[in-house]
Amino acid sequence: MSSLALINEFLGMPPNASSHGYQIDHIIEFCHWFMGALFLGWSAFFIFVLIRFRKRRHPVADHHGVKSGISTHLEFSVVLIEAVLLVGFAIPLWAKRVNEFPPTKDAILVNVVSQQFSFNYHLPGPDGQFGRRDISFESNSNPIGLDPNDPASKDDIVTVGELHVPVNRPVIVELSSKDVIHDFFLPSMRIGADAVPGSRIPLWFTPVKTGTYEVICAQLCGLGHYSMKGTLVVDTPEDYQAWLKERAELAGGGQSAPPAPAPHPGGPQPENKPPAPAASPSPSG
């Protein structure tokens, strides 16, 4: 089966680095082969029909049509296979992703706050408690609007563009957006979800390989959409602790956010400006 699996790689999928990803890869791999077979089958049928019912042989239309039941059986088989794929595999797998969250005490919790055109990451810091966020505190140096008066926010860690997580521990993300609909997509982790203004959307994955992976926005969210990328670094537990320590030191004085990224040259367009409730002072001025 492993050489058959090369079709995913051939079609450009990055290698899987998450614990559940192989299940998704199997479905995608099967679909690719199935669609390939359908493509060849229907193409052959189309060519057969063009030749078999050519005008020279049938100058007058035949009003009785085809009498054989083969095409009905074939079409029914295709529908059956697709129904099995959907009901037997895709929906149960999806249900597992959205219903069976790991216990939060074992997991790394991260708030991902998306905006045109970057992802901000908010970690609770050593106290394990997320500080309050409020739109009225948002500024270029505080892109997620962390409340500086909330004691729980003092040790919080905020980063822009790059997130570190330890290997082999579940990561639970709470996804939100400050402006338009984005999509937090981790191709190597085989997970992604839309970030919808006004909603907090949970998702989770367990990275199983250390390395640096791409984070991309998978919803066309404005002129700078193409540049809305980030990095997920999966560290060994030691490296992760070192990173946390470094971020905590940087955070030092409470207002922990590093400078927001410079406004994109393509710039947020006035017509793309967010509607309420996310319409805070613009992150990029």
The binding site for Cu ion (CB under 5 A) comprises 182, 217, 221, 228
Rounded to a whole number of angstroms, the minimum distance from the CB of residue 250 to Cu ion is: 26
Nearer to Cu ion, 121 or 243 (CB): 121
Q: Which CB, 203 or 217, lies closer to Cu ion?
A: 217
Please identify, using beta-carbon distances, which residue of 113 and 221 lies nearer to Cu ion.
221
Could you tell me the two tokens for 100?
């069976």
The minimum distance between CB 264 and Cu ion, in angstroms, equals: 11
Please report how close the Cβ of residue 226 comes to Cu ion at its closest, in angstroms. Answer: 10
Residue 124 makes CB contacts below 8 A (sequence gap 6+) with: 109, 130, 131, 152, 155, 156, 157
The nearest distance, CB 280 to Cu ion, in angstroms, is 17
Shortest distance in whole angstroms from residue 252 CB to Cu ion: 30
Question: Is the Cβ of residue 215 or residue 228 nearer to Cu ion in the bound state?
Answer: 228
| Closer residue to Cu ion (CB): 203 or 221 | 221
Smallest gap from Cβ 271 to Cu ion, in A, equals 16
Comparison of 175 and 221: residue with beta carbon closer to Cu ion:
221
Closest CA to 179 of 267, 260, 273, 265: 273
Q: How many CA atoms lie within 13 A of 284 on its CB side?
A: 20
- Is residue 257 a contact partner of residue 141, using CB atoms and an 8 Å limit? yes
- The letter for the amino acid at 242 is A
Give the nearer residue to Cu ion in terms of CB position, either 170 or 230. 230
d(CA 2, CA 217): 30
* Minimum distance from residue 217 beta carbon to Cu ion (Å): 3
